[in-house]
Amino acid sequence: MRALLSKAPGGPETLEIDELPDPVAGKGQVVVAVKACSINYPDVLIIEDKYQFKPPRPFAPGSEISGVIESVGEDVTGWAPGDRVIATTGSGGLVEKIALPATSLFRLPEGRSFAEGAALLLTYATTIHALLDRGHLVEGNTLLVLGAAGGVGLAAVELGKAFGARVVAAVSSEEKAAAAAEAGADVTLVYPRAPFDKDQSKALADQFKAALGPGGADVIYDPVGGDYAEPALRSIGWEGRYLVVGFPAGIPRLPLNLTLLKSCDVCGVFWGAFAAREPKANQAHIERLFRLWKDGQISPRVTETYAFEDGGKAIARMAARGAIGKLVVTVGE
């Protein structure tokens, strides 16, 4: 089978298509013929050895896939060849076939495309865990979403509205503002490009405060980091919750006196560890996501698709931070 492999640390241009042996389903496993693999920011980091997990090389990036079961191993029940499935993989998704634990699979609903299926789990599962378990978002709260037109950002906008929040979406362009508004944001604002000096940082904080209103943000969802973090934190309301989701703009240093002045919480969000430690709670979240998907309250927005051979270009596009919604690589027919 073909695989898009990282053989040495480096950028997307270092990835190579190569042949690997076809996987065999072991005990409790299935082999999935991959149809689509979505691209997420960890794919940018993992091939550069900058992610918290470093798979042994050669490895394929790609952390969520959709496809069709090709074979099932011993002790697998409830699944059969031909079933359409979606799964998160951690890495290894940019391959034509992959062996996965049967327990990691979810059924792709009829009428949903493989591209949509590959774009659902990681962004929405991360976000529902962030908003409900870490952010304690409730109806009537005000939610500020940074990077609101990316995959996790649009998920936060949609889920925030589904849970009854007033959503303020912060983005870097008018095109992205339009995407966030289409996803349901009540207010959009376009922030300037970092880096910021002290005066620019204060001006951005004032921009956030004006959009949020006098009560500030009850919950801030930050998948961006960098120089955007401190101005956002300055706009938080009393006893607000600041959710740390990711750092494509860099790892910020926050003045902790702000947490005292606002009596607020800064909360880390690590969905992968949560899913491993609390599988039943994670399963309940994902079942809720499927209900919201069925009811039309969420809908993965796939804006660009790439051929398998161009998977590196998809990762480069993600690294450039210009993508709106989800990028998906088509692997099989």
**pLDDT at residue 253, as a whole number:** 92
Q: Quick one: three-class SS letters along the chain?
A: CEEEEECCCCCHHHCEEEECCCCCCCCCEEEEEEEEEEECHHHHHHCCCCCCCCCCCCECCCCEEEEEEEEECCCCCCCCCCCEEEEECCCCCCECEEEEEHHHCEECCCCCCHHHHHCCHHHHHHHHHHHHHHCCCCCCCEEEEECCCEHHHHHHHHHHHHCCCEEEEEECCHHHHHHHHHCCCCEEEECCCCCCCHHHHHHHHHHHHHHHCCCCEEEEEECCCHHHHHHHHHCEEEEEEEEECCCCCCCCCCCCHHHHHHCCEEEECCHHHHHHHCHHHHHHHHHHHHHHHHCCCCCCCEEEEEEHHHHHHHHHHHHCCCCCEEEEEECCC
Question: Would you say domain 123-272 falls under CATH 3.40.50.720?
Answer: yes
Q: Where in the chain is the domain with CATH 3.90.180.10?
A: 2-120+300-330
pTM: 0.94
**pLDDT at residue 333, as a whole number:** 75
Helix crossing, 279-294 with 121-128: angle to 10°? 110
In sign, the C-alpha dihedral spanning 130, 183, 90, 227 is: negative
Lookup: tokens for 54: 């470093």
pLDDT in tens, the chain (333 residues): 999 999 999 999 999 999 999 999 999 999 999 999 999 999 999 999 988 889 999 999 999 999 999 999 999 999 999 999 999 998 999 999 999 999 999 999 999 999 999 999 999 999 999 999 999 999 999 999 999 999 999 999 999 999 999 999 999 999 999 999 999 999 999 999 999 999 999 999 999 999 999 999 999 999 999 999 999 999 999 999 999 999 998 999 999 999 999 999 999 999 999 999 999 999 999 999 999 999 999 999 999 999 999 999 999 999 988 889 999 999 987
**pLDDT at residue 52, as a whole number:** 83
**pLDDT at residue 4, as a whole number:** 97
Question: How many angstroms from the chain centroid is the CA of residue 19?
Answer: 29
**pLDDT at residue 42, as a whole number:** 92
**pLDDT at residue 51, as a whole number:** 87
Q: Where in the chain is the domain with CATH 3.40.50.720?
A: 123-272
The residues facing 64 across adjacent strands are 38, 88
What topology does CATH give the domain 2-120+300-330?
Quinone Oxidoreductase; Chain A, domain 1 (3.90.180)
Lookup: tokens for 271: 């969905």
**pLDDT at residue 332, as a whole number:** 83
**10 Å Cβ neighbour count for 215?**
12
**pLDDT at residue 127, as a whole number:** 98
**pLDDT at residue 217, as a whole number:** 98
Question: How far is Cα 324 from Cα 153, in angstroms, rounded to an integer?
Answer: 9
**pLDDT at residue 53, as a whole number:** 85
**pLDDT at residue 26, as a whole number:** 95
